[in-house]
């Protein structure tokens, strides 16, 4: 959560689902409701963070479909209550945006999926369930697509040989 603030687009009036691939920005809820209307029951989600502290943690959860449809770098930020408490103590900011989910649990993929499922149900999206996939299995969108493009474009800068050249 520290440093993960982005503009909340969930309340902005945007075009509805049918044009989602043409305009590139619709609300997350509208995109998900459109998926539900199309009979989609599962949404693949993933994250890039490596969690070493299972008590104080925060991750940005991505879904390629939603990232692309809504023009997002990530869809949700799921944060442990202890990390959120630390954040609010330091920054004196206790505002929780719609895309932020606070959980009182140690980190696990199951905890993240359950948090997203609860968020979906709270937004009346009742037929879609999240499925956690590994980052390496994701197509990659949002900031992951940017990182991968940068690595591909500058591959010679990141090779072992170039690191040892004088």
103-118: per-residue pLDDT in tens? 999 999 999 999 999 9
Mean pLDDT of the chain: 76
Residue 162's pLDDT is what? 47
Q: pTM of the entire structure?
A: 0.71
Please report, for the chain, the start and end positions of each structural domain, with discontinuous segments joined by +.
Answer: 17-138
Beta-bridged to residue 101, according to DSSP, are 78
The Cα-based distances of 34 to 64, 69, 129 in angstroms read 15, 11, 14
Q: How far apart are CA 22 and CA 69, in angstroms?
A: 9
């Amino acid at each position: 959560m520290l440093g993960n603030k982005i503009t909340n687009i969930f309340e902005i009036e945007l075009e509805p689902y049918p044009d989602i691939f043409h305009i590139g920005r619709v609300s997350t809820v509208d995109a998900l409701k459109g998926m539900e209307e199309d009979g989609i029951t599962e949404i693949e989600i993933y994250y890039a963070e490596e969690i070493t502290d299972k008590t104080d943690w925060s991750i940005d959860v991505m879904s390629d479909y939603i990232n692309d449809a809504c023009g997002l770098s990530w869809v949700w930020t799921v944060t442990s209550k202890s990390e959120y408490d630390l954040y609010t103590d330091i920054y004196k900011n206790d505002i929780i945006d719609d895309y932020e989910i606070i959980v009182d649990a140690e980190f696990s993929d199951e905890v993240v999926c359950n948090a997203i499922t609860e968020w979906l149900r709270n937004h009346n999206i009742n037929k879609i369930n999240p499925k956690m996939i590994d980052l390496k299995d994701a197509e990659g969108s949002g900031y992951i697509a940017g990182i991968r493009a940068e690595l591909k474009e500058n591959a010679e800068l990141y090779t072992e040989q170039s690191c040892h050249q004088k």
